[in-house]
Amino acid sequence: MAILGVGLIGGSLALAFKRSGKVGRVWGVSRRETIEKALALGVIDQGFTREKTSEALAGADLAVLGAPVEVIIEQLGWIGPHLQPGATLTDIGSTKRAIMQAASAQLPEEVHFVGGHPMAGAETTGVESADPFLFQNAVYVICPGRERDREAAERYSGLVSAIGARVLVTSPEKHDRIAATISHLPQLVAVGLMNLAASANEEDPNTLKLAAGGFRDLTRIASSPFEMWRDICQTNADEIKDRIDSLIEKLKLLRELVGGEGLSGQFERAGRARGQIQKNVKGFLSPVYQAVVTAPDEVGVILRIAEGLAEEQINIKDIEVLKVREGEGGTIMLGFATPDCRKRALEILGKLGFPARSRD
């Protein structure tokens, strides 16, 4: 298996596939310094600089394009002749139509292409952050493309399932429209709202001082660098603009309803729709059942909680420190695989002296 672009996602795929036992050796293609890091970390078994890509691809049954969308499209223009007949090529691009079109037009018939988009990520980037468990319970979108690629798509779906991801098969068109609604538009809304607040703060410096939990939650992704979004916005511009137009119409309606009781219907509809989103998922699926624990600000408190649960064979699936007041204490979110595990955990935590409650 060869991975072109050994960063966070490419490196995590390498580790996850190796851990699954479903692939043999993994070859990485990247910059020299990245290759050196990947080899030292055991992410790949052999590394190649970009000038030697053809050597890495020569014996690969499977190759992954782990670059930004526009780079993937450029790679599809020349990579075909370097792949062996019958090989499967896939990608991790955040938009799918432009990539699938390029693959269909550029790749030889004897090479199979499977569009892919793992709905997973992390706060940090680079091969140093590669994690074999990054795709656990994450949705991994598969776009089969050409009819002759269907069997290859099924094989790759099985491989993706083996690393703990949840496969969602859809068309490139549906993927890009959904992504525009639930990912791309929210990013631009966060940017717009944050810039609105920044302008207001220039008029009154107390504006951002009063920004609390709700505003921070809504604008968290506004800090994302444009470099991450340039290709996405360029290759999915039509769908994003359509979603912006739809949101403007929704805002116009809300503007008309502000001050009257008619606004309650919009709140109620939003509440019902929000309730349909499965809680605490990576991507779209696989819920984690949360509990919130109140704990003192003491050395070893998280260890005491973890050890207390482990002694009763309760596995913590997710953990997050929510709030801390130095010298006093704070709240910790714990995630469990099932409602029963959460119920037992709440009982155990109570006996250990930690107040805890369900978080639904």
Q: What is the mean pLDDT of residues 191-208?
A: 97
- In angstroms, the CA 7 to CA 123 distance is 13
Domain boundaries, the chain: 1-258, 289-359
pLDDT for residue 284: 38
**Among the listed residues 315, 225, 5, 222, the one whose alpha carbon sits nearest the alpha carbon of residue 130:** 5
Q: Would you list the DSSP string of 177-208? A: HHHIIIIIHHHHHHHHHHHHHHHHHHH-TTTG
First to last CA, the chain: 42
Note the pTM of the prediction, 2 decimals: 0.78
pLDDT for residue 324: 60
**Among the listed residues 179, 213, 180, 211, the one whose alpha carbon sits nearest the alpha carbon of residue 196:** 211
pLDDT for residue 360: 67
- The CATH number given to 1-258 is 3.40.50.720
CATH homologous superfamily of 289-359:
ACT domain (3.30.70.260)
pLDDT for residue 278: 66
pLDDT for residue 285: 41
pLDDT averaged over the chain? 92
Residue 259 Ramachandran class (φ > 0 left, ψ -120 to 50 alpha, else beta) = left
pLDDT for residue 212: 82
Instruction: Give 108-153 pLDDT, tens digit per residue.
Output: 999 999 999 999 887 678 999 999 999 988 899 999 988 899 999 9
Strands (E), 217-351: 289-296, 318-325, 329-336
Whether 289-359 and 1-258 are alike in CATH topology: the answer is no
Beta-carbon contacts of 225 under 8 Å, excluding residues fewer than 6 positions away, are: none
pLDDT for residue 66: 96
